[in-house]
Amino acid sequence: MLALDFDMYLIDEGMPSTTDVEFNRKSGEILQERLRTTTIIIVSHQAQTLEKFARSAAVLLDGQLHMFDTLEEAKRAL
């Protein structure tokens, strides 16, 4: 997925699924670089992944999507 430049990336629980440390490091670096110029939407239950890559958050709660400017605000909503 990171081999091509897209206007937007949608990643659904797809953060590194391999135990290859070098691959995870390199893909993480590329993703951080893409965050500067591209919209990336990450759906994840992994707090570490969200803390590493997300700047803002949306939480689906009781069928309604709530938008937050920061991860800290989203955490307080839960």
Instruction: Residue 45: name the closest of 54, 36, 32 by CA.
Output: 54
Question: pLDDT of 40-71, one tens digit each?
Answer: 888 888 888 888 888 899 988 899 999 999 99
The pTM (predicted TM-score) of the whole model is 0.65
Tell me the longest C-alpha to C-alpha distance in the chain: 39
Q: Which long-range contacts (CB under 8 A, 24 or more apart) does 9-13 make?
A: 9/34, 9/38, 9/39, 9/40, 9/41, 10/41, 10/43, 11/40, 11/41, 11/42, 11/43, 11/44, 12/43, 13/43, 13/44, 13/45, 13/46
Which pLDDT score is estimated for 68? 95
